[in-house]
């Protein structure tokens, strides 16, 4: 029987947050107003860390810039973002962990609350084919600024992995073992249903819970 290996992305496989830094990158490129966006970006990031993020308000904020530019331009911009911001956040230890699971023949999936426009090239760079992210709505090949389907956040990650597995003709119980690597207490709903939850460079809330439950804690930094 095959194993399933699920990886959170921000502050787990990456030594940083791709969502938060995307906004900073757009500000640096002169595509967003620093005054109006930086403060809201910081507040949303704090809310996420504190476990009180309004996901709908955040996605409205985060996806709107995608609707303001052609997809071709955004894709070119993302190449620059990958080289300048993301590759320095990709750690050797994270890549080694992914490689071990792949070598064992495990089904590897990145599952992240961050939108799939930002995260798909990052998952690909780690050699992971499958991504479950929050999907930005597209009409006629361009982004609308809206969301398609259930955001991949908190309990939404459970919904999305179950939907995705069903599309493959599978369910969680079909795997000999299921791993989920995450840094965040926001991911506890999914961590609680896999056979092998692993806390990675965990926030204080998750670290305490993991210790209480006897879950392994590792660092990929």
Q: CB count, 10 Å around CB of 116?
A: 18
Residue of 8, 17, 106, 187 with catalytic role: 8
Residues 146/117, Cβ–Cβ less than 8 Å: no
**In whole angstroms, what is the distance from residue 4 CA to residue 179 CA?**
6
Q: Is 75 a catalytic residue?
A: no
Q: Is 173 a catalytic residue?
A: no
For the annotated catalytic residues, the residue numbers are 8, 10
């Amino acid at each position: 029987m095959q194993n399933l290996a699920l990886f959170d992305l921000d502050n787990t496989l990456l030594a940083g947050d791709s969502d938060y830094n995307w906004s900073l990158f757009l500000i640096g490129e002169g595509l967003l107003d620093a005054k109006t966006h930086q403060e809201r970006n910081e507040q949303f990031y704090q809310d996420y860390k504190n476990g009180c993020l309004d996901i709908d308000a955040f996605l409205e904020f985060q996806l709107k810039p995608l609707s303001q530019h052609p997809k071709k331009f955004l894709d070119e911009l993302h190449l620059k973002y990958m080289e300048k911001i993301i590759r320095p956040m990709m750690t050797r230890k994270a890549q080694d962990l992914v490689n071990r699971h792949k070598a064992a023949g495990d089904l590897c999936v990145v599952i992240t609350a961050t939108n799939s426009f930002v995260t798909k090239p990052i998952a690909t760079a780690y050699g992971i084919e499958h991504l479950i992210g929050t999907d930005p709505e597209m009409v006629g090949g361009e982004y609308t600024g809206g969301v398609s389907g259930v955001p991949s956040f908190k309990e939404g990650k459970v919904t999305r992995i179950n939907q995705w597995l069903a599309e493959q003709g599978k369910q969680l119980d079909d795997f000999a073992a299921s791993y989920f690597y995450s840094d965040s207490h926001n991911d506890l709903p999914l961590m609680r249903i896999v056979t092998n939850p692993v806390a990675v460079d965990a926030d204080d809330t998750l670290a305490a819970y993991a210790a209480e439950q006897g879950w392994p804690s590792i660092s990929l930094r």
